[in-house]
Structure 1
Amino acid sequence: MAHYLTHGSLLPSAGSSTSGLAFAGTSTQDLAQKEHLQQRHYALFRELQLMSGELPQSYQQRLPYELLSSLANSLLDGTVYEIVRGLKDIQLMDEKSLFETRKAVLNTQRENVQELARRQKEQKELLISAGQSPTLIALAQQKEREALEKGHQEEINRIDMKIITKLDQCVSDQQVTLEKAGVPGFFVTNSPMEISLQMCLLEFITRLAHA
């Protein structure tokens, strides 16, 4: 007589050894993943400690183990690397635009000086031929050059202030973004020391991203 297997006989019953193996496999995978993350965290933490050790003692005191450990934990999934890379790209574009603007103004000012020199030379020749005193002409033209130079310096000072303001805003934007992303050590501050420390942390992250 022929024997037929039912569909039910192909499925393991609840509590069977096959079901137990599936759960065991999942548990083993979880443990392996957890161990991998722990090893990765330790490696990152160790690298951060070594980098921190390169800093002056006054900086090291402001970067305790707890902060470095938390920072290492935030780097595990790679998201922070992408955020920092994006912020750096934005900063480089802003800096390039600002300094190109400054360079363009300097070029224009240089052309103004050259044009003034050409015009003064022509004027001097005409005035001398008209009987004007060379000494008085020289004094008048010197005052004109000084006035132009003063105006140029004031213009550059205004541009430099705009650059500083823009870069300060860039730093603040970076602080906000990194704080919202939960990156340890980052918060909005105007303290030069705190900003220097944050710059060090950004350098650490960048170095680890290329490691």
Structure 2
Amino acid sequence: MHNPVAERDELTFGFGATDLGSSFHGDWVLYAETELDHITHWYGPEGGPTRLLLLIEDLLRLRDSGLDGEEINLLWRATDPQLGGSPEIRGQEREWLDRVLAWAVPVALARGASVESCTTYPVCVPDGTSAAAAEHRRLTAEVVDLVGLLNQHCESHTPLDATQAALRRCAETLCAELAFRSLLCAASHFSTQLSPATYSRLERLSTAFGYGPHVVDAVKYLMD
């Protein structure tokens, strides 16, 4: 997410790849036969292209990144709701990203998106020149610090330590903003207990990244 002014209306709640991963609650199979059926339902039959473009940007960044497959898998697993339900992509991480892109790009084009917006994205790390990229790099150290505060208070097959390492790599080599959203998902996935001071830090970072009011308050229930 590198154009918070143009994208503001879509930043009120979760968005992008993290929103998609979190959407796979265990009951999605009750109304969809396949993962792509669920994605089609989640994004609806109408609307402008911006919500889809936010997803496409995340998917392209992850696919083209220097992250290895297991790191991408851990970031995806971190978005999984506590009761599970998101597709298993281990061993076919980039194939999954391409599969979703193959669905999302034609739909975004049909809703008025340009070919360029569906195939390119602003550079962030290490040398993006936009104001958003500079701000994201400025916030990287704090995102990395917050990753260290993740703690686990529920059973999960996802390893906490490895997830933290993947989140740090995402922040430092790809984009701190994407890492921050993934961190919020991971906090829910692991039922991390958040102190009021930690939650305040999350709120400040959310504002700095240009989010609306309901991105961070999705984890407010974790505050002890």
Instruction: State the TM-score, normalized to the length of structure 2.
Output: 0.23
User: Whose helix proportion is higher, 1 or 2?
Assistant: 1
Rg larger in structure: 1
